[in-house]
Amino acid sequence: MAQFFEIHPENPQLRLIHRAVEIIRKGGVIVYPTDSSYALACQLDDKQALDRIRRIRQLDDKHNFTLVCKDLTQVSTFTKIGNDAYRLIKILTPGPFTFILDATREVPRRLQHPKKKTIGVRIPNHPVAQLLLQELGEALFSATLILPGETEPMTDPYEIKNQLDNELDLIIDAGIIDGGETTMIEFSNDGAEIIRQGKGLAPMLD
């Protein structure tokens, strides 16, 4: 059975964030709020926790995995980020965007796209997610919480508890989120391209 923390969406209680960090460090799989929906997360080098997330989502190797970072410094640790990409990400973050970039050696191979050797990165604009990343002091492996067979991400923590209570170690309840997917932007030699339009708006790429 998952622990269930009610954390204020604008003024997160630090003691609960610290307990959440403890659960992550002990190999836990958590559900936490982002600016687009609820998402699953674990430490990026924890293979067992990662496999649990794959099972919950029923993901194959072709899925673009995502690292959630607190800032651009963390992003540049895990991705080969050129000047143009850096400038664009700086303008658009924090916000509901996922950026696909070439991965560096800091990214475990099992998280990279098997053919492209890319990784998704994201800097969410949600106080709970930001404080969690700050207190953890490292990036999180993350996947939007979309159940197998569904097309929309989960936005209600009580519904998550009803469906996944036995699969998780912690559910962070920060209220119902006005859900949607992130806008996905892929960088290549040809520049930046929106490959999935979601909640984030990037008029400079239209």
202 occurs within a structural domain: no
200 occurs within a structural domain: no
Q: N- to C-terminal Cα distance for the chain?
A: 46
Interval 35-90: pLDDT, tens = 999 999 999 999 999 999 999 999 877 777 899 999 999 999 999 999 999 999 99
pLDDT beyond 90 at 186: yes
Mean pLDDT confidence for 80-104: 96
203 occurs within a structural domain: no
Interval 124-164: pLDDT, tens = 999 999 999 999 999 999 999 999 989 889 999 999 999 99
Whole-number pLDDT of residue 179: 79
Whole-number pLDDT of residue 59: 85
Whole-number pLDDT of residue 3: 96
59 occurs within a structural domain: yes
132 occurs within a structural domain: yes
The answer to whether the CB of 121 falls within 8 A of the CB of 67 is yes
146 occurs within a structural domain: yes
Task: Determine the structural domain holding residue 26 and report its residue range.
Answer: 3-195
205 occurs within a structural domain: no
The gap from C-alpha 136 to its chain's centroid, in whole angstroms, comes to: 14
Average pLDDT, the chain: 94
The amino acid that residue 138 corresponds to is E
Note the residue count of the chain: 206
Whole-number pLDDT of residue 194: 95
DSSP the chain: --EEEE--SSS--HHHHHHHHHHHHTT--EEEE-SSSEEEEEETT-HHHHHHHHHHHT--TTS--EEE-SSHHHHHHHB---HHHHHHHHHH-SSSEEEEEEB-TTS-GGGS-TTT-EEEEE----HHHHHHHHHHTS-EEEEE---TT-SS----HHHHHHHHTTT-SEEEE-------PPEEEEEETTEEEEEE--S---GGG-
**Lookup result for tokens 């806008």:** 183
Percent of the chain residues past pLDDT 70, beyond the cut: 100
How many domains are contained in the chain? Answer: 1
Interval 6-41: pLDDT, tens = 999 999 999 999 999 999 999 999 999 999 999 999
**Separation between Cα atoms, residue 95 and residue 88, nearest integer Å:** 12
The answer to whether the CB of 60 falls within 8 A of the CB of 147 is no
CATH number, domain of 130, equals 3.90.870.10
